[in-house]
């Protein structure tokens, strides 16, 4: 089945779904913002490592180890091209978006944030882009301020500009909201923050898989994302950092492979990016991430976004026709493939339970965005999230599940 996109292109979703063994179960998977599904190509790349050259990296001269190292560092080259970093030294492997942000908060933050300094965040943030900065502010005596949202769930740029006038040391914000799908004007916000003298971190956990990124064009200092939201394995992520910043930062973790020399008198550290990659790495997961980058890039980020806009518009119209539905966030054209909503008289957890009876995987909860839920004056929402393998008939199944829930709770 080919699905037309908003600009007339089409993705052959039937052919794409054939790459994903999990769809043989018949589930309508509408939770890709939580974690995406993995194609055979990713699974097979990881199996090849385990079956044919399972060994550690950077440590041995035998052929297995050299092959493992080649694949491990080859994945870094793929990521470098995917995000358009200037150098491989700017691409650091982490366990995911959360560790990437914590690395910056600990290593860069403790060197550069002091008493009275301002950190600017937004109410759209995932907890992983709030809590590390709150902890940093508490340790250093800094303060945190938040940019509010408007009635459409988009950031209030007037508040953002006002906070920039206070000369913040750090500005950190999401490229795409995981809870509502709001696409932020990341390039313009980065430019404004840099002009105000701030260092900028962009949370790309939802942006990299759905919109892609050119970090040089974006102009940020740090960019963080994980593999498991873009068809890769869990436990592997990326921190992009400008080389001059990473060079000046102390290691985040210490141990093997992040050192150059160790003596009783002291230690000297390895070159970038290995200075930040202590211990035995998740080698199979890194190789899987490289395969995921190939797969997503092969489909094309523009085609993925167009497909999601089409799906989101379809879901927006279909849900809006039901009584008692409140949809959160901006119009479909200004959001990624996320539909967060509330059904009058039905708790989101109850709705998700009923949806499961229809083999519809629907997320319910605060989506690790409790400040945003407080701002929306709800305890939780139901969230359907889409990716390039999502089909409209799965949205139809969601709508029928909502109708069923409304009949049960009538």
Instruction: List, by residue number, the catalytic residues.
Output: 368
The two structure tokens encoding residue 95 = 């366990």
Shortest CA distance to 199 belongs to which of 174, 221, 184? 221
Element (H, E) at 343: strand 338-343
Separation CA 407–CA 364 (nearest Å)? 19
For 361, phi then psi, to 5°, come to: -90, 105
Is 383 buried (19+), middle (13-18) or exposed (0-12) by CB count in 10 A? buried
In sequence order, the β-bridge partners of residue 237 are 94, 226
Task: Name residues whose C-beta falls within 8 Å of residue 24's C-beta, 6 or more positions apart in sequence.
Answer: none
Separation CA 109–CA 221 (nearest Å)? 13
Task: Name residues whose C-beta falls within 8 Å of residue 90's C-beta, 6 or more positions apart in sequence.
Answer: 80, 240, 241, 242, 243, 246, 272, 273
Separation CA 198–CA 139 (nearest Å)? 20
In sequence order, the β-bridge partners of residue 226 are 237
Separation CA 102–CA 283 (nearest Å)? 21
Residues found in the chain: 410
Separation CA 394–CA 26 (nearest Å)? 10
């Amino acid at each position: 089945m080919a699905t037309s996109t908003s600009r007339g292109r089409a993705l052959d979703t039937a052919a794409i779904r054939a790459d994903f063994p999990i769809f043989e179960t018949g589930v309508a998977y509408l939770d890709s913002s939580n974690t995406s599904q993995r194609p055979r190509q990713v699974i097979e790349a990881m199996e090849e490592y385990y079956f044919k050259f399972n060994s550690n990296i950077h440590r041995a001269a035998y052929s297995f180890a050299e092959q493992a190292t080649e694949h491990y560092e080859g994945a870094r080259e793929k990521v470098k091209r995917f995000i358009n970093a200037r150098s491989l030294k700017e691409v650091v492997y982490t366990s995911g978006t959360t560790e990437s942000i914590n690395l910056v908060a600990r290593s860069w933050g403790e060197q550069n944030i002091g008493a009275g300094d301002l950190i600017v965040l937004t109410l759209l943030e995932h907890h992983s882009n709030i809590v590390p900065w709150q902890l940093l502010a508490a340790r250093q005596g800094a303060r945190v301020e938040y940019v509010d949202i408007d009635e459409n769930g988009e950031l209030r740029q007037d508040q953002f500009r006002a906070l920039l006038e206070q000369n913040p040391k750090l500005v950190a914000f999401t490229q795409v909201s995981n809870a509502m799908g709001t696409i932020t004007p990341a390039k313009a916000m980065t430019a404004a923050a840099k002009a105000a003298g701030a260092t900028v971190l962009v949370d790309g956990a939802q942006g990299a898989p759905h919109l892609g990124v050119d970090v040089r064009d974006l102009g940020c200092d740090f960019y963080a994302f994980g593999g498991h939201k873009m068809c890769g394995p869990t436990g592997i992520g990326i921190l992009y950092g400008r080389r001059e910043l990473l060079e000046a930062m102390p290691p985040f973790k210490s141990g093997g492979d992040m050192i150059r020399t160790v003596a009783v008198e002291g230690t000297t550290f390895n070159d970038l990016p290995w200075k930040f990659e202590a211990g035995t790495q998740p080698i199979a997961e890194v190789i899987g991430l490289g395969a995921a980058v190939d797969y997503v890039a092969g489909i094309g980020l523009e085609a993925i976004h167009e497909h999601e806009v089409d799906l989101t518009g379809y879901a927006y119209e279909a849900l809006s026709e039901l009584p008692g539905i409140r949809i959160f966030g901006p119009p479909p054209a200004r959001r990624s493939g996320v539909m967060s909503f509330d059904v009058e008289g039905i708790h989101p957890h109850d709705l998700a339970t009923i949806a499961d009876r229809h083999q519809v995987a629907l997320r319910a909860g605060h989506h690790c965005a409790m400040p945003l839920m407080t701002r929306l004056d709800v305890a939780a929402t139901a969230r359907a999230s889409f990716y390039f393998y999502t089909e409209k008939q799965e949205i139809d199944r969601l709508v029928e599940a909502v109708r069923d829930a409304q009949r049960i709770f009538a």
